[in-house]
Amino acid sequence: MAEGLQMALPQAELVLCPLADGGEHTLEVWCAHLGGRLEYFEVSGPLGEPVRAPVALSGDGETVMIEMARVAGLELVPPERRNPLHTTTFGVGELIGAAARLDARRLVLTIGGSATHDVGAGMAAALGWRFFDVEGQSFVPVGATLHRVAAIRPPDRALPFEEVLVLCDVRNPLLGPEGAAWTYAAQKGANVQDQELLEAGTRRFVALLEQATGRSLADLPGAGAAGGMGAGAVAFLGARLVPGAAYLLDAIAFDEKLRGADWVITGEGRFDGQTGHGKLVAEVAVRARAHGVKVMVLCGTLDATAAALDELGIRAAFSIVQGPCTLEEALRRTREWLCLTAWSAGRMIQADSSTGNSSK
């Protein structure tokens, strides 16, 4: 993007600001801005196989950040094996246990991009929580076996963190038509019968979990995120759910970077009706508008109405795709097309009477 803009606007000052909202590669973005480092540990992946996953430690040593997608993410499961009935968050718990040894005061868990639906039970089991069936046998629940849980026992020792935050940009409850099973399980490989099983198992499991922890979980906004990890993090970790985009923009002092800028050029893979509901681009647009900065969006798929764009205060939006093509071709040519579209955007900015070549 910067390459194309610089060709069109050679005199412009470009301030590069990589962003993320709690999904893939949030750790790298966070470390790049805050001077942190990554520590790697071998833990269990979503299918139980070993994976090497990072923990980010902030430069001041006060905060550790874990990205759920790097341990239990959909990209770690081959398409033919994707099924949230069988995947586990056990490795997330193992990674939290490893992070606890880094002596940080605060844990931040990002929960975008998961392949799981176990309401965080696997994570909890790795941290010492125990789950029993009606015969008193202990086991580690997955989506397909949530309904078998008859009793829950907490660990003997609590985590050492003073604060646990979960970055979550959806407000779906745990149950019902907008809940975890009916909203997200299909994209993780579940069919309708699987979704029915997950919904029933989750309903039974959360009733026990609310009884065991004394917390109200089922209707908590964000409880249904990441296969119920929102609810699980609150119950098992004592976490607080916070909007991921807003948290990260605050952490990197994004509003300070807007001062003196004429334009913000941002983007995402698919810009659609969901973008305005807590997504990163929407948060960027709202903050830019508050500072009187014009916003342009470059994206792969542009599926938003003019009214939606106008409501967000976006001056212009363009798809980088140059014509009919396969997804494979679009992915292969992303850099080329992004550069070309940014060049065109730069020419448009150049023609804008209020900015010209002095744009920042």
What amino acid occupies position 243?
P
Neighbours of 324 (CB within 10 A): 6
Model pLDDT, residue 273: 63
Q: What is the pLDDT of residues 305-353, one digit of tens each?
A: 899 888 888 999 999 999 999 999 999 999 999 999 999 999 999 887 4
| Residues in CB range of 353: below 8 A, 6 or more apart | none
Give me the residues paired with residue 163 across strands.
106
| Residues in CB range of 109: below 8 A, 6 or more apart | 65, 66, 68, 92, 96, 164, 165, 166, 167, 233, 237, 239
CA atoms within 13 A on the CB side of 19: 27
Portions of the chain given CATH number 3.90.1510.10: 26-245
Global confidence as pTM = 0.87
- The CA distance from 354 to 171, in Å, is 39
DSSP state of 95: H
Q: Span 160-186, mean pLDDT?
A: 94
Our measurement of the distance from residue 340's CA atom to the centroid of its chain's CA atoms, rounded to an integer in Å, reads 29
Q: What is the pLDDT of residues 51-61, one digit of tens each?
A: 999 999 999 99
Portions of the chain given CATH number 3.40.50.10350: 2-11+259-358
- pLDDT confidence band for 277 (50 / 70 / 90): low
- Give me the helices (H) in 172-312, please: 180-184, 192-213, 225-237, 244-251, 254-258, 280-290, 306-312
Q: Span 215-238, mean pLDDT?
A: 95
Q: What is the pLDDT of residues 90-128, one digit of tens each?
A: 999 999 999 999 999 999 999 988 999 999 999 999 999
- pLDDT confidence band for 276 (50 / 70 / 90): low
Q: Span 215-236, mean pLDDT?
A: 95
Contact status, residue 265 vs residue 284, Cβ threshold 8 Å = no
Calculate the average pLDDT of the chain. Answer: 93
What are the structure tokens assigned to 119, written together? 């309401």
Q: What is the pLDDT of residues 60-73, one digit of tens each?
A: 999 999 999 999 99
Tell which wins on pLDDT, 360 or 107: 107
Q: What is the pLDDT of residues 297-311, one digit of tens each?
A: 999 999 988 998 888
Model pLDDT, residue 275: 56
Q: Span 138-163, mean pLDDT?
A: 96
pLDDT surpassing 50 at residue 213: yes
DSSP state of 145: G
CA atoms within 13 A on the CB side of 99: 31
Model pLDDT, residue 25: 83
Task: State the pairing for strand pair 240-242/163-167.
Answer: parallel
Backbone Cα Rg of the chain? 22
- The CA distance from 225 to 110, in Å, is 11
Model pLDDT, residue 357: 47
CATH class of 26-245: alpha beta
CATH class of 2-11+259-358: alpha beta
Model pLDDT, residue 272: 81
